[in-house]
Amino acid sequence: MSSPLTACAVFAAALACAVPAYCAESEAQSAQSLRQSELVRLVRQDCGSCHGMTLAGGLGPALSKEALAQRPQSYLQEIILHGIPGTPMPPWRGLLSDQDAQWIARELLRGFPDGR
């Protein structure tokens, strides 16, 4: 027979173990979503200075999902990291990690978030 006290101790032990794992996970998630909002701002401002604020094209071509429909994600990721030599499209690998470039390429293909 278990007393209410035992049940309480078991519950407390379960909590003590579950909560840090939960916290670590949600911290990682919020770090990731913070990075993603930084990337949205960077793409809208820095990429937008050449590709247009709405990414509809300017000095550089449109980066809308319609314009990029035939482009593989890995190709876009390479261009973002390494630029296109001989054109104004600069390399971004000093500022962006592989993961960042992969995320931007994926979001461009989906229709980039407008950041508002």
Contacting residues toward ligand HEC, per CB under 6 A: 43, 46-47, 49-51, 59-61, 63, 68, 71, 76, 79-80, 84, 87-90, 92, 104
DSSP class of residue 69 equals T
Helix (H) or strand (E) holding 86: none
Residue closer to ligand HEC, measured from CB, 34 or 66: 66
Residue with smaller CB distance to ligand HEC, 29 or 41:
41
The whole-angstrom separation of Cα 51 and Cα 53 is: 7
Q: Shortest approach of ligand HEC to residue 108 CB, angstroms?
A: 7
Q: Which residues contact 63 (CB under 8 A, 6 or more apart)?
A: 47, 51, 55, 57, 108, 112
Alpha-carbon distance 92 to 79, whole Å? 9
Name which of 18 and 53 has its Cβ closer to ligand HEC. Answer: 53
The distance of closest approach from Cβ of residue 50 to ligand HEC in the complex, given in angstroms and rounded to an integer, is 3
